[in-house]
Amino acid sequence: PKTDIVFLKVHKSASSTVMNILFRFGETHNLTFAFPRGGGFQLFYPYHFLARFVHGFSPRSPRRFNILCHHMRFLQPEVQKVVPSSAVYFSILRNPVQLMESSFVYYKGASAFSRVRSLEEFLRQPRRYYSPASGDRHYARNLITFDFGFNPDGDASPERVQLMLNAIEASFDLVLISEYFDESMVLLKELLCWDLDSVVSFPLNSRDSSTRSTLPGWAVEKLKAWNRLDWEIYTHFNRTFWERIERALGRERLRREVRALRARRAELARTCLQGTGSVGPKDIKDSSLRPLQHGGARILGYNLKQGLDGELERTCRRLVTPELQYSSLLYNKQFPPPAP
């Protein structure tokens, strides 16, 4: 199994669920994480990543960390200073239309969104509300492009787009697609030589459907044009994703593996969870399992069954522990606070 991993956590793209998979694998195999300095939850995002953002990094010591997976704005020469040269790099993308709809609800307080009532209103005259000079502009335009380290207001000429795609392909071993999450996990399992239980998960940081909205056709077209760079990245890697499936697995084996993954998830849900699945924040009984609520979204979570025995309770709890709580737990394990 591969144990040195860089995951670029692109916003609003099922990346919290992937992070849970990496947290669980790292904890089980006693691996080290490149945590944000001081135990924060982001690597000084939205600044480009620097090695010195990592807790315990020193240019004088050759220490390397196994897993880098907290939010960052990608900058490979700096990333290479904190992980072994053998590290596998991967990321996950989401259709920019759904991504921006989610971003609008989640980052409603961002300067570009705060003065409009709806995403349609923003898309009618985006330049009226959007300022390239604002420090949080990336939430409102080409968020994928920004997270990969590029300029969200950059030129969208075919030549520039091609340069950007070439740079991503040169840096990343695999780019997954969140709309095909189970297929993505099968491909990731194959690349990392992991077993099925290592990539099984429950969806984390997902929204209640009551805050989701469907955009009219004209708004979708405006959105694609406004987020042209993201759209180019997404369509390119959606295509190469399926080419990779054909090469690595073939459709028949993919179907078998996806079936096995879904069956295992369903089995774990029956074993671990009260009720049929996720519940609203008010209905989560154990406050340590309550996810952070942000913007106008209602973020769902889970209730565990009562009376699970020690090892099983631990397995189930890890599957549903929200990102911030899990990150803090692992940080305190890796950097134990001094004894009083």
Please choose, from the candidates 202, 206, 200, 205, the residue with its C-alpha nearest in 3D space to the C-alpha of residue 185.
Answer: 200
User: Dihedrals φ, ψ of 73, to 5°?
Assistant: -100, 120
pLDDT bracket for residue 275 (50, 70, 90): confident
What SS3 state is found at 284?
A: coil
Task: Name the average pLDDT for the chain.
Answer: 95
The one-character DSSP state at 321 is: -
pTM, 2 dp: 0.96
Which amino acid is present at 113? F
Position 121 scores a pLDDT of 97
- H or E element that contains 126: helix 126-129
Confidence bin at 294 (pLDDT 50/70/90): confident
- pLDDT value at 61 more than 80: yes
Confidence check: pLDDT of 276 > 90: no
Domain residue extents for the chain: 5-332
Whole-Å CA distances, 226 to 10, 31, 166, 219, 302? 19, 41, 22, 10, 36
Q: pLDDT class for 207, splitting at 50, 70, 90?
A: confident
Question: Quick one: CA dihedral 154, 157, 163, 169, positive or negative?
Answer: positive
Query: Span 55-78, mean pLDDT?
Result: 95
Fold of 5-332: Rossmann fold (3.40.50)
- Lowest-confidence pick of 242-246, 247-251, 280-284: 280-284
